[in-house]
Amino acid sequence: MLISKDDRLSFEKSKPGRRGARLPKQRLLESNALDLVPPSLKRKQPLLFPELTEPEVVRHFVNLSKKNFSIDTHFYPLGSCSMKYNPKINEWVAKLEQFAWTHPMQKDETLQGTLEILYELEQCLKEVTGMDRFTLQPAAGAHGELTGMMMVHAYHASRGEQKRRKVLVPDSSHGTNPATAALVGYEVVEIKSNPRGRVDLEDLKRHCHDETACLMLTNPNTLGLFEEQILEITKLIHGCGALLYYDGANMNALLGICRPGDMGFDIVHLNLHKTFSTPHGGGGPGAGPVGVKAKLIPFLPSMHIEKKGNHYEVVRDGQKSIGRVSAFLGNVGILIRAYVYIRTLGLSGLKQVSEDAIMNANYLKEKLKRIFPVAVDEPCMHEFVLTLQKLKTKGIHSGDVGKRLLDYGFHAPTVHFPLVVDEALMIEPTETESHETLDQFADAFRKIAQEIEEDPDLILKAPHTLPIRRPDEVRAARNPILTYRDLAGKDSPETASVR
């Protein structure tokens, strides 16, 4: 069989005395180095680690890798995730020894190559978004949001407006928006969507006042719809003295088409692992640079790269800076990949990204809406949302259809999100998929619709062809087994005594 049925942990394959790496035998000290460590500082608990040879370790992980869907093996139409192809030249550059084997504490003059790339990347991101300056430090989208909201706080505090304690988020927003606002201590106020899936301007008006700190907005929103009244929204928010935050999760729709900076956004975060093609890695690392308008520049995190003549320099913060948000310069390896992508595509290639992404989404929407209704049936941007409401009478949910798609060799779309759509399936094909793939995907949908009529159980119990059937998540949460020790019941003396 192609996919190994072995589900044992490395620990369970371990045999005492085996090893997967050899280290130098030579010792420089006359005595054993361990004897130099006072006994009270030494580890007593033996290390329960796997013992395997290198070929065993490699086979273990290669077989594991085959139990994954990935962009390189499957179509991955996850809404708001921009699962596009991850170009290999990005990897080739980032892994060059000249970049990978540099230390963050080296002096600027020994890092001119890396600093040049970071500087140039910032210039490109400014052009793409229409913002005045970027920080490249945040390690992920949610980290960028946090950085942005800390700047919102610092900005209002600097103006003596501490009473601005409310952050507005549309009910269609990503979960990270309210979670981030709460982390910075804000009260979260949800703004309703109108029947066309956009921000309800009347509801927004009611919440624009002198206690409003910020509106966090995704545009196009999570329904894949452009907020057509964006200029009115901007006016309302700025009119009450609040700031406008742009969640860049959906920036893949806008490259060269329009810019958040021109719309009036004050702060923007980008997800380089979405729009700028860096790999998702099974859940990171990404990068979440944050761009701001001039009035917020003083509040940016503490390091910025400047070009002086032909020399690049890391400039430390001013007094109003929110400070450092990660240990060093940020996820430099990811930033390099994103810059390579920009240079590979160039100006016209970048514009093509969004045009093709929008075309693919509208094309697929036309095909799929004949099978299941679209939440808001209008031209969409780079993604769209179906509603599977009518299946509820059969006891079938959008998540079930997602599971069945796995059997057809397609990753599930984003399911049960956005929350404003009942039984949502959120679909983003991206620009790197061909219409042949989209046609095959639509065919699978058609077949599933038929199966729902003929044999609903097939859907309810899907998937049937993957390494596992549906996992019992309730059991996992009730009786958490989170480590090999939990599984094997090998309590350490310390933990046993604590319980």
Partner 1 sequence: MHYHPMTDQNRDDMLKKIGVSAFGDLLKGIPSKLRDVKMNIPEALSEWELQSRFKEIGARNATLRDHLAFLGGGSYEHFIPAAVAEITGRQEFYTAYTPYQAEASQGTLQAIFEFQSMIAELTGLDVANASHYDGATSLAEAALLALRQTDRHKILVARSVHPHYRQVLKTYLAATPFSVEEFGFDPGGVFNPDDFKKRLSDDVAGAIFQTPNFLGAVEELEGVSDQLHQMGALLILAINPIALGVLKTPGEWGADIAVGEGQPLGIPPQCGGPYVGLFATTRALMRRIPGRLAGITQDADGKRAYCLTLQAREQHIRRERAASNICTNQALCALTACAYMTLMGKEGMREVAELNLDRAYYLREKIAELEGFHVALDVPIFNEFMVQSERPWDQLEPHLAKAKIFPGIPLSAYYPELKNTLLVCATETKTRSELDRFVEVLSQC
Measured from the CB atom, the residue of 34 and 393 that comes closer to partner 1 is: 34
Backbone angles phi, psi at 358, to 5 degrees: -70, -40
Considering only residues 411, 421, 428, 448, which one is a binding residue for partner 1 as defined by CB under 8 A? Answer: 411
Q: Is 496 in the site for partner 1 (CB under 8 A)?
A: no
Considering only residues 216, 242, 350, 401, which one is a binding residue for partner 1 as defined by CB under 8 A? Answer: 350
Q: Is 76 in the site for partner 1 (CB under 8 A)?
A: yes
Q: Look at residue 251 and give its three-state secondary structure.
A: helix
Q: Is 214 in the site for partner 1 (CB under 8 A)?
A: no
Measured from the CB atom, the residue of 331 and 391 that comes closer to partner 1 is: 331
In this structure, what token pair is assigned to residue 487?
């599984």
Considering only residues 217, 329, 338, 374, which one is a binding residue for partner 1 as defined by CB under 8 A? Answer: 329
Q: Is 371 in the site for partner 1 (CB under 8 A)?
A: no
Q: Is 392 in the site for partner 1 (CB under 8 A)?
A: no
8 A C-beta contact, residue 85 and residue 277: yes
Considering only residues 1, 2, 105, 308, which one is a binding residue for partner 1 as defined by CB under 8 A? Answer: 105
Measured from the CB atom, the residue of 275 and 331 that comes closer to partner 1 is: 331
Place of tokens 């009347």: 202
Minimum distance of partner 1 from residue 372's CB (angstroms): 18
Half-sphere exposure in the Cβ direction for 332 (13 Å, CA): 21
Q: Is 195 in the site for partner 1 (CB under 8 A)?
A: no
Q: Is 2 in the site for partner 1 (CB under 8 A)?
A: no
Helix residue spans in 369-407 (DSSP H): 398-407
Instruction: With contacts defined by CB under 8 A, name the span among 3-11, 235-243, 390-398, 443-451 that binds partner 1.
Output: 3-11
Measured from the CB atom, the residue of 110 and 194 that comes closer to partner 1 is: 110
In this structure, what token pair is assigned to residue 497?
């005594």
8 A C-beta contact, residue 456 and residue 396: yes
Instruction: With contacts defined by CB under 8 A, name the span among 236-244, 387-395, 432-440, 443-451 that binds partner 1.
Output: 432-440
CB atoms within 10 A of CB 497: 8
Considering only residues 161, 211, 241, 362, which one is a binding residue for partner 1 as defined by CB under 8 A? Answer: 362
8 A C-beta contact, residue 372 and residue 425: yes
Q: Name residues contacting partner 1, limited to 241-260 (CB under 8 A).
A: 256-259
Q: How many residues bind partner 1 (CB under 8 A)?
A: 201
Measured from the CB atom, the residue of 390 and 481 that comes closer to partner 1 is: 481
Q: Which long-range contacts (CB under 8 A, 24 or more apart) does 13-20 make?
A: 13/50, 13/52, 13/56, 13/60, 14/49, 14/50, 14/51, 14/52, 15/51, 15/52, 16/51, 17/51, 18/51, 18/52, 18/53, 18/56, 19/51, 19/52, 19/53, 20/52, 20/53, 20/54, 20/56, 20/57
Considering only residues 121, 131, 142, 452, which one is a binding residue for partner 1 as defined by CB under 8 A? Answer: 142
Q: Is 294 in the site for partner 1 (CB under 8 A)?
A: no
**Centroid of chain to Cα 261:** 22
Considering only residues 163, 369, 392, 469, which one is a binding residue for partner 1 as defined by CB under 8 A? Answer: 469
Q: Is 127 in the site for partner 1 (CB under 8 A)?
A: yes
CB atoms within 10 A of CB 245: 31
